[in-house]
Structure 1
Amino acid sequence: MRVFVIAGEPSGDKLGAALMAGFRSLMPEAEVEFIGVGGPRMEEAGLDSIFPMDDISIMGLTEILSQYPALKRRVNEAAEAAIAAQPDVLVTIDLPEFCLRVAKIVKARSSIRTVHYVAPTVWAWRPGRAAKMAKHIDQVLALLPFEPPYMQAAGMRCDFVGHPVVTDPVASEAEAAEFRNRHGLDSAPMLLVLPGSRRSEVARMGPVFGEVLRAVCAKRPEMRIVVPAAGPVVGMVQAAVADWPGAPLVLDGAAEGAQAEKRAAFRAGDLALAASGTVSLELAAAGTPMVIAYDMNWLSRQIIGRMLRVDTVTLVNLVSDTRAVPEFVGKACVPAEIAKAVLALAEAPEAQAHAMALTMERLGQGQEPPGIRAARAVLDGLGRSPDNSPET
């Protein structure tokens, strides 16, 4: 069996490697060949990337426009390689600006089955994207349990295969206790502050979170502040917290052992204040209650605010079908109101326990790993049975 697979950023590389492992687990007696584009995890799993994944790992409209000619060349190169390889299936992973363009070319010139892994957020905004996808995508693999109906309504097969957060390691209580001891936190109440992983997010949310902490620490001076910083923005975060109260402890995401340190911090934290994003699922996995906040520039706020089709963007709220996590987005991103929510959560952190547990259950915790489920769904779409059946 031959699979042409494309991933264009680290999260997609992680999904791709798990998918590759899933195919091999389900088809141990068959030869499975992988061709395409991927990063270090997929290469370690056996992919010989036709060009570096970093060439297409570009985020943001301005960046995409400035490098459009180079990206277009890579789109054409990937599409030509897929057509020439004549694989059983083309699997594109997230990064729709690149991947769906490749799929469109491949579908126009061949009968290769096309699968897109990670459904676009049509439930939140721009629902018309699903209908456009359906012209050249046969099947979608969804990370969130409520997404399949949106894709199916547009005419595509869609399988919920689970979210990768359910297979990520979570620190133990002993590791959390060791983290507290190592940093002299002892039994003090601990607030995790996560201002984002991109420079634009830290620049916008850093001052807001600083104002929130001034109000929180004025009421709770014993509160200890821990800031897990993503590797690319460590310097920015360190500069941003210089005038924050509470003598914040910044964890360097680029340091050796950074991921284990971050996991221990998440488990050790009593509560968290975080910029909106998938971090809410990481916190839920660790059982850490949270307050979510996010803001954007004025123009983006006006445009996106008018296009949003949901009343919450926090994944824990959406997956659990509750509104347990306080959220302050756009014009609601007001430091005084956010501080009130943080203080209220500090008094009753157990209020989110059910929603977090339900979220993890609905995302597939304790079930077959997402990589295997994704491979199984692809095989089923091809009309093939895996060599081994799921346990019953």
Structure 2
Amino acid sequence: MRVFLVAGEPSGDRLGGALMEGLKALVPNVAFDGVGGPLMQAQGLNSRFPMSELSVMGLVEVLPKFFHLKRRISETAQAVLDTQPDVLITIDSPDFSLRVAKLVKASSDIRTVHYVAPSVWAWRPGRADKMAKVIDHVLALLPFEPPYMERAGMECDFVGHPVASEPQATEADIKAFRDAYDLGDSPLLLALPGSRRGEVDRLAPVFGEALSLYLKNRPETRVVVPTVAHMVDTVTEHLRSWPRSPVVVDPRDLPSDQAVAQKRAALAAADLALAASGTVSLELAAQATPMVIAYNLNWLTTLIAKRMVHLDTATLVNLVSDTRTVPECLLDDCQPDQIAEALTKVAANPEAQREAMALTMDRLGRGGEAPGLRAAKAVLARMTKADA
């Protein structure tokens, strides 16, 4: 069996790696091709070009890279057509992935699967109908998503989220992490300003100012900043203006599994986290770490988003648990004083989020079959049914 996969950012690489592991367990002779990061490469993928080229978010941010991305879309689609895999699996990054699928479908009957349903319940509901023209099957991370996809004419399976099946860091893991970075017993505040250059450039200065305000009367607190390999230099440069000489958790010299374990230990060791919006809220919830979510976009993208988004929260923990316990400082509210105030409130009552975080993990499949294996089974079952 030949599988062509495309992922465009670290969260997609994580999903892809788990899916590939599941496919290998079920189909021993499976062969992989495509584009992915270190976790997918660890499962046997030889990425056709660096996945980091696709890690761009925001309507305006894409413009300077438009022609390069367009060329990569064409190259990737042609590679799929040349290799004729049994299935093309695109993972999130819809602006890139669905354009590849469109070109592939225009010239072949190759089966297409998209992993991560678009958030049509939040904005641009018409995307599902357009997507149905080029995608046969959707793998959904959230339990309420399949009806939206099926209504548009696609097959859809809720497969859970890999973060729910990952182990929680042990006390020994946490101690080893603290010892490795000489953190002692100091209270830890984790700062996660994103994994893409654009969002780090926007958020890191705001995060730094917010932490300066929050830490004024907390001289014992240390700041820890985990990041991804391709962003270490960018993050480190921004941290020069932050208070308390933050500790950067650098994964570059570690094998992918050790890098994941180190980040997990960092998340679990923290008493409080300030994070960009995205999958990281689930990673923090998996380790039961209280958080504040802050995010902003380019001014033009913000203007467009305000007109199109129909939800009162952007945090996955709030959405999945159907609560609003995780405070958010989004768009115009992404200001240092508002972020510092939110951090102060969460620090005063960290237990307020615990129940919502536990409920989120339960609803995403904690304690059940590994989501990567569930996703692999769903792909194979639908392929068998389609061939019957």
TM-score band, normalised by shorter chain: 0.7 to 0.9
CA, structure 1 residues 54+252, in 2 after alignment: closer, same or farther (shift >3 Å)? closer
Would the aligned equivalents of 2:209 and 2:336 in 1 still touch at CA under 8 Å? yes
Please state if 1:329 is matched with 2:330: yes
For residues 172-191 of structure 1, the aligned pairs below 5 Å read 172-191=170-189
Q: Is the 8 A contact 2:210 2:339 kept in 1?
A: yes
Q: In the alignment, does 2:116 pair up with 1:118?
A: yes
Counterpart among 151, 154, 164 of residue 152 in structure 2: 154
Displacement, 1:142?
0.8
Give the match for residue 225 of structure 1.
223
1:307 aligns with 2:315: no
Equivalent residue of 2:98, what SS?
helix
Question: Secondary structure at the residue paired with 2:274?
Answer: strand
Counterpart residue identity of residue 371, structure 1: G
Residues 251-273 of structure 1: per-residue CA shift (max 9 Å, x gap):
22324354443222211111111
Q: Do the aligned residues in 1 keep the contact of 2:81 with 2:108 (CA within 8 Å)?
A: no
Q: Give the whole-Å Cα distance in 2 for the aligned partners of 1:192 and 1:372.
A: 31
User: In structure 1, how many angstroms separate the alpha carbons of the residues matched to 2:232 and 2:88?
Assistant: 37
Per-residue Cα deviation, 1:109-156 (whole angstroms, up to 9, x for no partner): 444432222212222222211100111222111112222122122121
Residue 119 and residue 219 in structure 1: after superposition, are their counterparts in 2 closer, same or farther (change >3 A)? same
2:207 aligned counterpart, secondary structure: helix
Mean CA deviation greater in 220-229 or 305-314: 220-229
Q: Which residue of 2 aligns with 1:388?
A: none
Query: Which protein is bigger by CA-based radius of gyration?
Result: 1
Asked whether 1:316 is paired with 2:317, we answer: yes
Amino acid at match of 2:359: L
Decide whether aligned partners of structure 1 residues 143 and 125 sit closer, same or farther in structure 2, where only a CA change above 3 A counts. same
Q: Which residue of 1 aligns with 2:101?
A: 103
Residues 321 and 58 of structure 1, relative CA distance in 2, 3 Å threshold: closer
Matches of 2:245 and 2:69, distance apart in 1:
44
For the 8 Å contact 1:140–1:156, the answer to whether it is kept is: yes
Q: Note the alpha carbon deviations across 1:302-324, whole angstroms, 9 max, x for none.
A: 11111112111111111111111
Question: What SS does structure 2 have at the residue aligned with 1:365?
Answer: coil
Given that 2:225 and 2:249 are in contact with CA atoms closer than 8 Å, whether structure 1 keeps it comes out as yes
- Counterpart Cα distance in 1 of 2:278 and 2:126: 23
**Does the 8 Å contact 1:266/1:283 carry over to 2?**
yes
Change in CA separation of 1:134 and 1:149 when aligned onto 2, cut-off 3 Å: same
Residue identity matched to 1:15:
L
User: In the alignment, what sits opposite 1:389?
Assistant: none
Equivalent residue number for residue 358 of structure 1: 359
Q: Which amino acid aligns with 2:324?
A: R
CA 1:179–1:47 in structure 2 vs 1: closer, same or farther (change >3 Å)?
A: closer
Percent of aligned pairs sharing the same letter: 54
CA distance in 1, matches of 2:46, 2:221: 49
Task: Work out the CA distance in 2 between the residues paired with 1:88 and 1:236.
Answer: 39
Instruction: List, as ranges, runs of 4+ consecutive aligned residues in structure 1 with deviation greater than 6 Å.
Output: none
Which residues in structure 2 correspond to 1:1-392 (within 5 Å)?
2-9=1-8, 10-27=10-27, 32-34=29-31, 36-39=33-36, 41-42=39-40, 45-46=43-44, 51-52=48-49, 54=51, 57=54, 59=56, 60-68=61-69, 70-81=71-82, 85=84, 88-256=86-254, 258-384=259-385
Q: Tell me how far apart the structure 2 counterparts of residues 352 and 173 of structure 1 sit (CA, whole Å).
A: 21
Distance in 1 between the 2:321 and 2:234 partners?
34
Report deviation, 1:338: 1.4
Partner of 1:390: none
> AA paired with 1:226?
V
SS at match of 1:382: helix
Q: Distance in 2 between the 1:272 and 1:333 partners?
A: 15
Structure 2 letter corresponding to 1:248: P
In the alignment, structure 2 segments of 5+ residues that lack a partner are: none
Q: How much does 1:224 deviate?
A: 2.1
Are the aligned partners of 1:79 and 1:105 in contact in 2 as well (CA < 8 Å)? Answer: no
Q: Tell me, yes or no, if the aligned pair for 1:7 and 1:53 is still in contact at 8 Å.
A: no
Mapped to 1, the partners of 2:355 and 2:345 lie a distance apart of 17
The one-letter amino acid paired with 1:34 is: A
**In the alignment, residue 4 of structure 1 is paired with which amino acid?**
V
Which secondary structure state, in structure 2, belongs to the residue aligned with residue 19 of structure 1? Answer: helix
Give the residue type in structure 2 aligned to 1:327.
Answer: E
- In the alignment of these two chains, the number of paired residues is 377
Q: Secondary structure at the match of 1:225?
A: strand
Q: Any idea what SS the aligned residue of 2:297 has? A: coil
CA distance in 2, matches of 1:102, 1:208: 36
The unaligned stretches of length 5 or more in structure 1 are 386-392
Structure 1 position 358, deviation (Å): 1.0
> Normalising by structure 2, what TM-score?
0.87
TM-score, scaled to structure 1: 0.86
Q: What is the alpha-carbon distance in structure 2 between the residues aligned to residue 183 and residue 263 of structure 1?
A: 15
